[in-house]
Structure 1
Amino acid sequence: MANQLLKSTTLVSIMTFLSRIVGFIRDMVIAHMFGAGAGIDAFLLAFKIPNFMRRLFAEGAFSQAFVPVLSEYRTRQDHDGVKQLVNKVFAALGIVLLVVSFLGVVGAPWLIRLFAPGFSVEDSRFGLACYLLQLTFPYILLISLTAFAAGIQNTYRQFAMPAFTPVLLNVSLILAAWILSPYFQEPVEALAWGVLLAGISQLCFQIPFLAKLALLPSPQWDWQDPGVRRILRLMVPALIGASVMQINLLVDTIFASFLPVGSLTWLYYSDRLLEFPIGIFGVALATVVLPHLSEEYARNSHRGFSASMDWALRWILLIGVPATIGLTMMAGPMLATLFQYGRFSGHDAMMAARSLMALSLGLVCFLAVKVLVSAFYARQNTKFPVKVAIVAMAANVVFNALLIGPLAHAGLALASTLSSIINVLILLFALLQKKIYIPLNGWLSFAGRLIFANTMMGAMLWWLVPEMAQWLDWSASTRAINLLMLMGAAALIYFASLFLMGLRIGHLRLQSVGYES
């Protein structure tokens, strides 16, 4: 079990890494073809709303509520009982999603006014954003059903294909940008159609894998089923508690709509770079840990539950701290290397770097909150995380109001970081106070090794990373070569320092931090 947990996390990380690489290619194509103008601002807003709901509803609330209940059914009932639950949840989920999608399409103008009040009716971005949102909103129906299929597969320890599925979205948007955009009067409309086509392909991709598990759902209407009612009851508060980062980013969008043209795009590209380590590692870790924690809780294994939490938090620090240093010190070079082509200028890269540095300071917290919230949801406790989420969101609004004046879009990014820190501290304190999580031995030596290794890596980057002006003068190939060399050198220094300080991979296996099945 212990080795399988690490292997599953690695597998999901590899698949997610592939998706993120294709995602970067997608963003490079979009930046090259559309720059940072009004049209791409409108599309990013129109895509952000259903994408926000995807992360909040499909990957957040639904998965956090569905997987623990399904894991319990798998542990305590036979296959027919599991299949009945799948059928009934599919029917209930499908009806809810159809209603939500219809309301979203009809209410697109009101949603744009709500999430981007800075887009006035006279602003060309308003009408375009409304139309694009009507095209992209049904994506929430398709991707939520895809997340439903992924939750089933994850419960049965099949992580590879759900982690690969986002590649289809990235490929669809690349093809839409290159092939379809010349055929539209407003080229960004092609991207909206690409989103819709991606949702269809992602859902269809799941069918053979569910059939292999003999869990391909057949809709069976039963609102009174205890399992369905428990999932729905858990979902209501989880809609807020599971995805505080996404809620905060959407609040940022509201404030950013009052800033100059391009601000939404700068925030988007900085968020995309931050999502690279979060997606590759944070989402992968939370995806694998949630069903594991749910099983430990169903077996009433308090020691196994706490040890799994300890294992996950050590890995978050091991990966998150050096990633924070790297993103902060190389924000400008990374953005220039990846996106400064065509209509995306050096000025755009420098402005996006400001918000990336501010967001990077909260990376460890953005990673940790996924695991900490999973600890509560694995125990089918959604009430406390939602209370903490409300506090964090209120703090985010206050920080936005205070920081938007002096720091503009970078202030909005910093507000998200500060509110996430508050969120993590409250969740962690509660887990410790209630003795749900009891830190195991070895934290002091582990922290010392991390401090030494990160200090060595940071000093190397401070010495070697050139000024941004020099970076912008280089050709694309020179930038890419230098960026890869710096990243390689940073990784070498970091892991060599850890090795020198006596840290071995065996120290980070689950059984090495006290796991007992």
Structure 2
Amino acid sequence: MSLIRNVGTIGGLTAFSRVFGFARDMLLARILGAGLAADAFQLAFILPNTFRRLFAEGAFSVAFVPMYTRRLSSEEGEAGAEKFANDVLAVFIWVLLGFSAIAMLAMPGIVWLLASDFKEIPGKFELAVTLSRITFPYLMLVSLVAMLSGVLNARSRFAPGAFVPVLLNIVLISGIGIGYVLQQRGGGTVSVAYALAVAVSMAGAAQLLYMVWATRRAGVKLKISLPRITPEVKRLAMLILPATFGAGVYQVSQFVDTFFATSLPQGSLTLLKLADRLNQMPLGIVGIALGTAILPMLARHIQTGDNNEAQRLQSNAVEIGLLLTLPAAAALAVCAPAFVSAFFVGGKMTANDGAVMAQIVVALVAGLPSYVLVKVFQPAFFSREDTRTPVWIAAGTLTVNIAVNFYVVPRYGIVGLAAATAGTSTLNVALLYGLLHKRGWYFISARLMAKVGRQIVATLAMAGVLTVLLPTMATRYSGNVIERIWSLGVLVAAGMVVFFVVAYLTGALDKDLLGQLRRKRAAKPADPSN
């Protein structure tokens, strides 16, 4: 199956999920606003989700998928892959149980480390601890979901894993509805936060049940047995340890951002996370889709020694990623006030909160192309089972990020925090590429540089048109539902038309690339012995 088809499958379902995510956050903004209960729930939601992205979808997936793919394509075939997966599952469950139990017992200390300033507001720290204990079982459930997704991804079955976030958002929206009813009966915003926390863990159970069904439907039968530390399980563990940091620099930085955000005025953490929803839309659709699709494909090319195909695959991923994220970043930066007003301002979310959120969006999306390129470059290391090198890169960039935060946060507040994250992500990409080039694993060709240059021209043209068009409908972005929809529709349509017309005229859209990517299998290079 081609890269573009895999990315389309994952990206399309992720976009579907992001629509539900937007609905969820729009309701949250209006019902909870940016106050005590909202901040406490955001912290409780951040904890299991960040660990999920760091360990399960980050470190575990990048180490497990190449090893499972190799078993699947070896002489042992299905039997060897199934045995490896069962051995890993038997150990993984107990690790997750132990980690979750320890974390829940230590939750007051964890919350204090991340948000000690919550203690200054009566009841806020205690609420955050209680909500975090309620949500934390989600980590174990969704980690098992990530493992089953990895099994299916290795078989080029990407749809189930891309669909499970939809279930999360559906269950959370239901939780908001229940919480709203309790709020109307006198429970206050705290009742909404409790209903949401319970919904998080219930969503994890729903996701796991769905993935078990999807795995069995694909003909994969995994079973739980007594744990055995086999040589392959040991190797996986040795790969996971450095990958935990290397694959998760963005997630580790989320903890850093949370620490600094909770030291700022109440509501800052909520505004940062809601602003990140706009940033996550293109990142999830493009970056996560590319990273998920490229890893097993790249691993197969490298294991067969087909370096030319590996180089071509990564160049295609870079070109596709930037073709979609450069205009997305520019559009979000220019139109941030319109998007924030239309989606989030209303109810308990004030216009002043919206103005701050728009500034945060501009700062965050400055690093959007870098966030996506990290997802493209890291698989070049992971597919070679090199999870150590990204550790040093991640350690360096995270250290820089923390140092920069100590300078910018007291001076520029939450906006400076977002800008520091974007800047250090760009540094991370530069260092990753520098090492790939030095080792001869990947290089950016003159052709690719020319393509990116044309993409930038098209992006600038689009940004110019949006800058002129934006103020002409200023009153519509906060009007009634119809006014908000059609005004944003005009902006989106105008931006897309201008970008793709200019991209076509300048040659930024490559018909040959699209033709190559649609093929199910790339032609193998000729045997030099013939």
TM range (shorter): over 0.9
Match of 1:13 among 2, 11, 30: 11
| 8 A Cα contact 1:308 1:510, kept in partner | no
Match of 1:494 among 493, 499, 502: 499
How does 1:89-168 map onto structure 2 within 5 Å?
A: 89-120=88-119, 123-168=122-167
Q: Tell me which residue corresponds to 2:71.
A: 73
Q: Tell me which residue corresponds to 1:325.
A: 330
Question: 1:228-248 CA distances to partner (integer Å, 9 max, x unpaired)?
Answer: 112111100111111211211
How does 1:461-480 map onto structure 2 within 5 Å?
A: 461-466=466-471, 470=475, 474-480=479-485
Hey, what's the Cα distance between the residues in 1 that align with 2:220 and 2:230?
A: 18
Hey, what's the Cα distance between the residues in 2 that align with 1:230 and 1:60?
A: 17
Q: How many residues align?
A: 515
Code of the aligned partner of 1:377: F
Hey, what's the Cα distance between the residues in 1 that align with 2:395 and 2:473?
A: 39
Q: Tell me which residue corresponds to 1:49.
A: 47
Q: Secondary structure at the match of 1:466?
A: helix
Q: Secondary structure at the match of 2:118?
A: coil
| 8 A Cα contact 1:304 1:516, kept in partner | no
Match of 2:455 among 430, 450, 458: 450
Hey, what's the Cα distance between the residues in 2 that align with 1:5 and 1:275?
A: 21
Q: Tell me which residue corresponds to 1:202.
A: 207
How does 1:39-438 map onto structure 2 within 5 Å?
A: 39-76=37-74, 77-120=76-119, 123-183=122-182, 185=187, 186-187=190-191, 188-438=193-443
- Deviation of 1:265 after TM superposition, in Å, equals 0.8
Q: Tell me which residue corresponds to 2:528.
A: none
- Deviation of 1:503 after TM superposition, in Å, equals 4.3
Q: Secondary structure at the match of 1:118?
A: helix
The more displaced of 52-61 and 217-226 is 217-226
Q: Secondary structure at the match of 1:177?
A: helix
Code of the aligned partner of 2:14: T
When residues 516 and 226 of structure 1 are mapped into structure 2, their CA distance, relative to the original with a 3 A threshold, is farther
| 8 A Cα contact 2:516 2:522, kept in partner | yes
- Deviation of 1:510 after TM superposition, in Å, equals 7.7
Hey, what's the Cα distance between the residues in 1 that align with 2:397 and 2:26?
A: 33
The more displaced of 195-204 and 72-81 is 72-81
Code of the aligned partner of 2:150: G
| 8 A Cα contact 1:307 1:515, kept in partner | no
Hey, what's the Cα distance between the residues in 2 that align with 1:20 and 1:297?
A: 33
Hey, what's the Cα distance between the residues in 1 that align with 2:290 and 2:217?
A: 25
Question: 1:83-115 CA distances to partner (integer Å, 9 max, x unpaired)?
Answer: 111111111110100001101111110110011
Hey, what's the Cα distance between the residues in 1 that align with 2:252 and 2:157?
A: 29
Question: 1:210-238 CA distances to partner (integer Å, 9 max, x unpaired)?
Answer: 11233232123454322211211110011
Code of the aligned partner of 1:158: R
Hey, what's the Cα distance between the residues in 1 that align with 2:201 and 2:180?
A: 15
Hey, what's the Cα distance between the residues in 1 that align with 2:166 and 2:403?
A: 37
Hey, what's the Cα distance between the residues in 2 that align with 1:12 and 1:167?
A: 12
Code of the aligned partner of 1:92: V
| 8 A Cα contact 2:53 2:248, kept in partner | yes
- Deviation of 1:444 after TM superposition, in Å, equals 4.1
Hey, what's the Cα distance between the residues in 2 that align with 1:20 and 1:331?
A: 17
Hey, what's the Cα distance between the residues in 1 that align with 2:501 and 2:339?
A: 24
Question: 1:325-381 CA distances to partner (integer Å, 9 max, x unpaired)?
Answer: 011111111111111121111111111111111011000001111111111111100
Q: Unaligned regions of 5+ residues in structure 2, if any?
A: 525-530
* TM-score scaled by length of structure 1: 0.96
Hey, what's the Cα distance between the residues in 2 that align with 1:443 and 1:157?
A: 27
Q: Secondary structure at the match of 1:492?
A: helix
- Deviation of 1:209 after TM superposition, in Å, equals 1.8
Hey, what's the Cα distance between the residues in 1 that align with 2:442 and 2:449?
A: 17
Question: 1:241-272 CA distances to partner (integer Å, 9 max, x unpaired)?
Answer: 11211211220110111111110011011111
| 8 A Cα contact 1:332 1:468, kept in partner | no
Q: Secondary structure at the match of 1:408?
A: helix
- Deviation of 1:400 after TM superposition, in Å, equals 0.7
Q: Secondary structure at the match of 2:117?
A: coil
Hey, what's the Cα distance between the residues in 2 that align with 1:468 and 1:503?
A: 30
When residues 283 and 479 of structure 1 are mapped into structure 2, their CA distance, relative to the original with a 3 A threshold, is same
The more displaced of 436-445 and 97-106 is 436-445
Q: Unaligned regions of 5+ residues in structure 1, if any?
A: none
- Deviation of 1:399 after TM superposition, in Å, equals 1.2
Code of the aligned partner of 2:334: M
- Deviation of 1:398 after TM superposition, in Å, equals 0.9
Code of the aligned partner of 2:417: L
Hey, what's the Cα distance between the residues in 1 that align with 2:515 and 2:242?
A: 31
| 8 A Cα contact 1:47 1:192, kept in partner | yes
Q: Are 1:509 and 2:514 an aligned pair? A: yes
Hey, what's the Cα distance between the residues in 2 that align with 1:506 and 1:472?
A: 37
- Deviation of 1:193 after TM superposition, in Å, equals 0.4
Q: Secondary structure at the match of 1:46?
A: helix
Hey, what's the Cα distance between the residues in 2 that align with 1:306 and 1:505?
A: 17
* TM-score scaled by length of structure 2: 0.94
How does 1:17-36 map onto structure 2 within 5 Å?
A: 17-36=15-34
Match of 1:482 among 471, 482, 487: 487
Q: Secondary structure at the match of 1:219?
A: coil
- Alignment RMSD (CA, Å): 1.9
Code of the aligned partner of 1:45: L
Q: Secondary structure at the match of 2:80?
A: helix
Code of the aligned partner of 1:288: A
| 8 A Cα contact 2:477 2:483, kept in partner | no
| 8 A Cα contact 1:101 1:140, kept in partner | yes
- Deviation of 1:511 after TM superposition, in Å, equals 3.8
| 8 A Cα contact 2:31 2:180, kept in partner | no
When residues 222 and 190 of structure 1 are mapped into structure 2, their CA distance, relative to the original with a 3 A threshold, is closer
Q: Tell me which residue corresponds to 2:527.
A: none
Code of the aligned partner of 1:98: L
Kindly report structure 1 stretches of 4+ aligned residues shifted beyond 6 Å.
512-515
Percent of aligned positions that are identical: 34
